[in-house]
Amino acid sequence: MTFLRVMGFSVFILLVYTGFANILPQVQGDPPAEEEVDTGSLDMAGMISLGEQLFSGKGTCTLCHNKRLRAPDLLALDLAKTFPERLADPRYKGIAKSREGAQAIGDYIHESMLDPSKYVVAGFGKKGSGDTISQMPKIDSPPISLSEVEINAITAFLQDRAGISPTVALPSADETPTTPVANSDTGDEEEGPATTAVAALDKFSCTACHDLEGSQADIGPKLNGISKKQDDAKIAEAIINPNAEIAEGYEADIMPDDFGEQMRVSELNLIIDYLKNLPENQ
C-alpha cells in the first residue's frame, strides 16, 4: 500500500510539472531564414545599406581591413581625406585619373576591387613585391565572387562614408539578385552551424587566405599534407590560437585570433577533417 501511494504521488508531481512546463511560453531557436534581396527595388539608401552588409559579410572585407592593419582600416580612416590623397599619389595610374570629384573616387573604389594590383597603398603590398602586387584577391573571382550589383553596393557604402553622394548606377529589375541575407523572426542574425566542410570554409573565409577549393590564395601557407606534420590537436590549436606558432615566411597577427569564439565544435571538426584529407601534393 505504501509503495502504491509513493508511486501515485510521484506520478501526480510529474503531471503537475509537465502541465506547468506546457503553460510557459515556448522559445524555439530556428536557423536563420534566407531572403533574397530584390535588386530592382533598391534605392540609393538601400544600396548603401546592402554595401555595409556585404563589406562585413560575404565580401570578407573586414577580414583584412581592420585594426590588425593587414590592409588599411577603411572604417577607421577619414575617407574624405584618404581617397583624394590616393588619387594624387604619383604611383596611381588607374582609370580614375581621367575623372573628377565623386566620380573619380567611385571609379577608384570600384577599380580597387576588380584589379587591386593596379595601385597598392605603400606598405601593404605582397612581401618582396615592392608594393606592386596586392595581397587582396579580385573580389569578382573565387572565392568571394561578388556580382556587379554587390560591387556597386560596396562602392556606394564607401563613398557614403567619405561624405560623397554615391555615383553608382541603381540596378534594374532584371539584374541578378544579390546573395541571400540572414533573417529571423526573433531578430537573432547569428548564422546557423555549417553542415559540410566546404560550408565551414566559406563561413570563416578560409579560402580567402589559403589555397583551398581552388582559390589559389597565398596570403596564408598551403596546407596540403598537413596531416603528416600535425595531429588533430595541433591543427585545432593553429586555428584557435594562430599566433602560438607562425609558419616560416609569414607574419604574426595575419590570421584572426577569435575563431575559438566564433566556431562551434562541429565546425572546427569539419575543418580539421577536411585539412587532414588534403592530398600532400596539389
pLDDT tier at 6, thresholds 50, 70, 90 = low
Question: pLDDT digits over 78-135, tens only?
Answer: 999 999 999 999 999 999 988 899 999 999 999 999 999 999 999 999 888 999 999 8
C-alpha to C-alpha distance for 51 and 59, rounded to whole angstroms: 9
Name the E strands within the chain.
Answer: 33-37, 178-183
Global confidence as pTM: 0.68
Place of cell 546573395: 179
Q: Is omega for the bond preceding 143 within 30 degrees of 0, making it cis?
A: yes
- At residue 22, the pLDDT reads 47
Question: pLDDT digits over 130-175, tens only?
Answer: 999 998 888 998 778 899 999 999 999 999 999 999 999 999 877 7
Question: pLDDT digits over 250-270, tens only?
Answer: 878 888 888 888 888 889 999
- At residue 128, the pLDDT reads 86
What domains can be seen in the chain, in order of their start residue? 34-183 (no CATH), 197-276 (1.10.760.10)
By C-alpha distance, which of 69, 56, 63 is closest to 158?
56
More confident residue, 101 or 2: 101
C-alpha to C-alpha distance for 47 and 49, rounded to whole angstroms: 5
Alpha-carbon dihedral angle through residues 25, 31, 33, 34, given to the nearest 10 degrees: 170
More confident residue, 94 or 13: 94
